Amino acid sequence: MEDMVWRKSSYSGGQSNCVEVRLARAVAVRDTKAREHGHLTVSRAAWVAAVSALRG
């Protein structure tokens, strides 16, 4: 998964107080301001469920 591209929300305005995601078979999520702490990997189904819940 290391060769995948990290993407930051366009809503972040270029600041570093957001999360970045990397989409592949699984979805990796990391804190932009603390990249050295690694990332959390979840299944695509879990990611879709979380985003759907946040959108209401």
Please tell me whether the overall predicted TM-score, pTM, comes out greater than 0.85 for this model. no
Tens digit of each residue's pLDDT (9 = 90 or more) over 24-52: 889 999 988 888 999 999 999 999 999 99
How many C-beta atoms surround the C-beta of residue 29 within 10 A? 15
Q: Looking at residue 16, what is its pLDDT?
A: 67
- Better pLDDT: 18 or 11: 18
Q: What is the CA radius of gyration of the chain?
A: 11
Structure confidence at residue 2 as a pLDDT band (50, 70, 90): low
